[in-house]
Structure 1
Amino acid sequence: MESEEEKGGDDEEVMSEVHLGCPPSFSGPYISVFTVSGILDVARNLEFDADGDLLLPRRTTNAPHSRDGLSVKIQHNITSSISNVGLQVWKAELLLSDFILHRASCSSQLHGVTALELGAGTGLVGLLLARFANTVFLTDHGTEILDNCAKNVQLNFGSLNYQAKIYVRELDWFNCWPPKTKIEEAPCTQKYSWTSREIEDAENASLLVAADVIYSDELTDAFFSTLETLMSRGSTKV
C-alpha cells in the first residue's frame, strides 16, 4: 500500500533516462525520429570477430540509409507527471522494440499474429509490430496518453508500410475485463472504447507485450490481474 506521501507524488515531474541531457523546461510535445537500418536483411549479414563476438557496423551521420531501413516518428514529452509517464519514451520500450525487430528478422513467428500491448504509452513497440502482424491493439489509460498514441499512429501512416489494422483503445487495469463497449459507454467517452468484435479479437490475440509498466505496487497487482484474465480467455497466448 502506498503511503500518503507517495500518493501525493503524482504531480511530481519525472524524466526518463532516455531524455537525460534535454532541457527540462522543454517538456514537449516533441517529435523524435528513430531510424532502423537493414532490419530485413540483418539475419543474412551477421559478422563475428575471432572471439565469436558480434560485429556491429556503425552508420555515420552522413551515410545513406539502407534501402530496407525505416524511420519511426514518435511524439513524446521530455518530462511528465508520474500519472502521465506514458507520454515519455522509456529505455525498456526501446529494448522491447529491439527484441521485436530481432525476432521478426530471424523468424516468421510474428508474421500474421494478433497482438495486444498493455501500457502502450507512445505506441513505438506496437507500431513496429504492425509491420508484421495482422492486428495490433495499443492499450493504455487516460485521454492525454491515448491521444498522443493515436497521434503517433497517424504520424507514421504511409511510412511504415503497415500490414496490420491498428486500434488505440482504453484499458484500465483497475476495471474488470472485458471493458465496456461503445454501446455501453456515454457518447462523450466513446473515442477509445471497444466494440464487441474487437474484444473478441483481443481475447484471441496470440501475443501480449508490455514494457516498463512495473513501478507501483497497486498498479503491478492490477496489471497481473488483467494479464491473468487475458491469458485465460480465448486462444493460447505468449
Structure 2
Amino acid sequence: MLESEPPLVVESDDDDTVCLGESFFLNDSYELATFTFGSHVLQLLCLQSASTDFDLTGQLVWPGARLLNEYLANNSELLQGYSTAIELGSGVGVTGILCSRFLREVVLTDHNDEVLKILKKNIELHESSENPSSCVALSAEKLEWGNSDQLNNILQKHPEGFDLVLGADIYILQISVPPLFDTVKQLLCQQGKERCRFILAYVSRSKMMDAMVIKEAIGHGLQIHEVDGSRRAISNLEGVIYDITLQL
C-alpha cells in the first residue's frame, strides 16, 4: 500500500470497525537470495513468499521471471546488436539486472513505490558487485502502464525509444492488458523497427487472459509469435515465451 493511500477500513459482523494501517500490508523482511541462470549468478534482496497486498507482489521472484531469465541466459546471442532495454513490472529486478550484463543501458520500471525501494537497493547491490570499469547504465523509473506523465518522463530521457521491451509474469487483472500494450508500442524504437521487439514470458492462469493477450497484441498493430520450444510447465503452470514485434 502506498504512503498516500488511506488505511483500509474493515467492518465486522458485529458492526465493529477495524482500521488496518499500511504496516499491516508492508513486509520488508528481505533476504539475500542467489539465482543461477546458465553461467550467470545473481544475488538479490527479495521476499520468499507473497505479500498480503496483491499490489506488492513485486517483492518476490515469480515463475515467469525464471522462465525468461533461463531463456535469455541460454540464448544470449539473441541480445547481440541490441543496446537499450526497458523492463515493465520489474519487481526486484532479476530480469533487468541479468540483461545489464549484455546491454549498454537497461531501465527497470515498476508502478509501486514500495517495490521501487527494493528495486533500487538491488541495483545498488548489483553495481557494487560488478566490475567497477563497467559502463552499463542501470536505472529505475516509476511507470504505471497508461500513465502518460510517467511514460513521457521516460521518453524525454530516451526519445528514440528502446530496442527491447521486456516483461515477465506481469499480469494480475484483465483491465491491465490494454494499457500494457499501449505502453509497449510507445516504448519500442521506431527507427530500425524491424529489429526492436517485446519479449514476454507469459504464465497461463486463465484461458480468458490467454486469448486477451494475443487479441490485444494484434489489435495494437503488433505481431506476436510463440518462440519454438519455449512452452513448458513451470511451478505447476504452463509458461511460454512470446516474441512480439511492430508490424512492418
TM-score class, shorter: 0.5 to 0.7
CA distance in 2, matches of 1:218, 1:116: 22
Alignment of 1:203-218 (within 5 A): 203=161, 205-218=162-175
Alignment of 1:173-184 (within 5 A): 173-176=145-148, 179-181=151-153
What SS does structure 1 have at the residue aligned with 2:168? coil
Q: Give TM-score scaled by structure 2 length.
A: 0.59
Alignment of 1:36-185 (within 5 A): 36=36, 39=39, 70-76=41-47, 78-80=49-51, 81-104=53-76, 107=77, 109-110=79-80, 113-161=83-131, 163-176=135-148, 179-181=151-153
**Which of the two has greater strand per residue?**
2
Stretches of structure 2 lacking an aligned partner (at least 5 in a row): 1-7, 10-25, 198-248
| Cα deviation, residue 195, structure 1 | 7.7
CA distance in 2, matches of 1:176, 1:71: 33
The count of residues paired between Structure 1 and Structure 2 equals: 170
Identity over aligned pairs, percent: 24
The structure whose RCO (Cα within 8 Å, separation 6+) is larger is 1
CA contact (8 A) 2:44 2:92 kept: no
Q: Give TM-score scaled by structure 1 length.
A: 0.62
CA contact (8 A) 1:132 1:163 kept: no
Residues 108-133 of structure 1: CA deviation (Å, up to 9, x unaligned) = 63465201101111100000111110
CA contact (8 A) 2:89 2:170 kept: yes
- Pick closer, same or farther for the CA change 1:235–1:84 going to 2, 3 Å: farther
- Pick closer, same or farther for the CA change 1:37–1:101 going to 2, 3 Å: closer
| Cα deviation, residue 135, structure 1 | 0.2
| Cα deviation, residue 79, structure 1 | 2.2
What SS does structure 1 have at the residue aligned with 2:79? coil
Identify the residue that residue 29 of structure 2 maps to in structure 1. Answer: 29
What SS does structure 2 have at the residue aligned with 1:213? coil
- Pick closer, same or farther for the CA change 1:77–1:144 going to 2, 3 Å: farther
Let me know the Cα RMSD of the aligned residues. 3.0
Amino acid at match of 1:206: D
CA distance in 2, matches of 1:178, 1:71: 29
CA contact (8 A) 2:92 2:119 kept: yes
Identify the residue that residue 231 of structure 1 maps to in structure 2. Answer: 188
CA distance in 1, matches of 2:141, 2:112: 10
